[in-house]
């Protein structure tokens, strides 16, 4: 079963596809059918009632939807995408310090950020050599580098603190 979270004007709806022509929206089952009429034009049948619709995809999860003259700005995400988005948003707005630790024992080859540098989630901050392989250590938080606990050439154990992001 495919389950999506659809957000329209800050209202969230859980949409489950039960079969080819049956949906469940916030627990209520409805019959639905979609016919493609042209490049962006569709005919949407909901419980045997037709609606003219136009769809404009803005990016991977945002669409503009025009139904019977009413415009809706929508976000459509899988349940997993929605959960990930909420976790990322929570981390971005968090003002606590985050300690970045070594995922494995190794040798610090290169520190790519300095104290005071801004970092984004997923941005490379350090290069760690482990078992003769170079591993790029990426930021798990958005913020500013407040403290660097290692220097290039240091050996670090698994779980050792590399730097602090606030």
- Whole-angstrom distance, CA of residue 87 vs CA of residue 81: 10
Calculate the average pLDDT of the chain.
90
- Residue 1 clears pLDDT 60, i.e. is over it: no
- Region 59-63: mean pLDDT is 86
Confidence band for 153, pLDDT divided at 50, 70 and 90: very high
Burial (CB < 10 A; 0-12, 13-18, 19+), residue 42, is: middle
- Residue 123 clears pLDDT 80, i.e. is over it: yes
Beta bridge partners of 44: 34, 51
- Region 140-161: mean pLDDT is 92
pLDDT of residue 92: 60
- Residue 158 clears pLDDT 70, i.e. is over it: yes
Ranges of CATH 2.40.50.100 domains, the chain: 98-165
- Region 29-50: mean pLDDT is 93
CATH for the stretch 2-83: 3.30.700.30
pTM above 0.85, yes or no: no
**93 φ/ψ angles, rounded to the nearest 5 degrees:** -85, -5
- Least Cα distance to 5 among 134, 160, 70, 15 occurs for 15
pLDDT digits (tens, 9 = 90+) for 86-95: 887 776 655 6
Ranges of CATH 3.30.700.30 domains, the chain: 2-83
- Whole-angstrom distance, CA of residue 51 vs CA of residue 92: 40
pLDDT of residue 88: 75
Share of the chain above pLDDT 90, in %: 69
Token pair in block for residue 9 = 């004007």
Confidence band for 79, pLDDT divided at 50, 70 and 90: confident
- Whole-angstrom distance, CA of residue 32 vs CA of residue 100: 48
- Least Cα distance to 149 among 102, 103, 106 occurs for 102
Question: pLDDT: is 60 or 30 the higher one?
Answer: 30
At the topology level of CATH, where does 98-165 sit?
OB fold (Dihydrolipoamide Acetyltransferase, E2P) (2.40.50)
pLDDT of residue 91: 64
What is the length of the chain? 166
């Amino acid at each position: 079963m495919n389950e999506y979270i659809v957000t329209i004007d800050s209202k969230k709806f859980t949409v489950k596809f039960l079969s080819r022509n049956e949906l469940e929206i916030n627990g209520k089952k409805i019959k639905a059918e979609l016919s493609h009429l042209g490049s962006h034009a569709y005919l949407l049948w909901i419980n045997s009632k037709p609606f003219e619709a136009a769809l404009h995809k803005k990016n991977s999860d945002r669409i503009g939807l025009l139904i019977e003259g009413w415009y809706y700005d929508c976000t459509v995400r899988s349940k997993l995408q929605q959960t990930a988005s909420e976790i990322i948003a929570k981390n971005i707005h968090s003002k606590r310090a985050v300690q970045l630790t070594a995922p494995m024992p190794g040798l610090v080859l290169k520190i790519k950020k300095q104290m005071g540098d801004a970092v984004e989630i997923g941005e490379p901050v350090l290069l760690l050599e482990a078992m003769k392989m170079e591993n790029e250590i990426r930021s798990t938080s958005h913020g500013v580098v407040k403290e660097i606990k290692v220097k290039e050439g240091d050996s670090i154990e698994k779980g050792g603190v590399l730097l602090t992001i606030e």
